[in-house]
Amino acid sequence: QVQLQQSGPRLVKPSETLSLSCSVSGGSISSHYWSWIRQSAGKGLEWIGRAAPSGDIIYNPSLTSRVTMSVDTSKNQLSLKLSSVTAADTAIYYCARDLRGGGGEWPDWGQGTLVTVS
């Protein structure tokens, strides 16, 4: 079974860049689609974007000007960067694996990282 382990700073200053990683074990990162999702008290659950095995990446239009996702196949690792953060970006951030080729159903999730912008 695929397991996802997240890492990254839990406190980010306003206007700086949030950076998170998600290490994948139990499967090849090249075989699946991957998403980042966040959850905040104010906005609930919000899909951030998705990376395909082909390398294609799509973002939520509400975040596209500030977000960068990448996939490092040599490390079997995903990454997320969100620039110019504000308090509104305070949330629990999750990485997740698609059940079936970009279908947008997520059976496997990372443990979540609470990132506070302050």
Partner 1 sequence: DFQLTQSPSSLSASVGDRVTITCRAGQAINIYLNWYQQKPGNAPNLLIYAASTLQTGVPSRFSGSRSGTDFTLTISSLQPEDFATYFCQQSYTTPHTFGQGTKLEMK
Which positions lie near partner 1, rule CB under 8 A?
35, 44-47, 50, 58, 60-62, 94, 96, 99, 103-107, 109-112
- Alpha carbon distance, N-terminus to C-terminus of the chain: 36
For partner 1, give the closer residue by CB, 38 or 71: 38
Identify which of residues 19 and 46 has a Cβ nearer to partner 1 in the complex.
46
Q: Give least dist CB 82 to partner 1, A.
A: 15
Q: How far is the CB of 47 from partner 1 (least distance, A)?
A: 4
Q: Which residues of 9-23 are buried (b: 16+ CB within 10 A; e: fewer)?
A: eeebeeeeebbbbbb
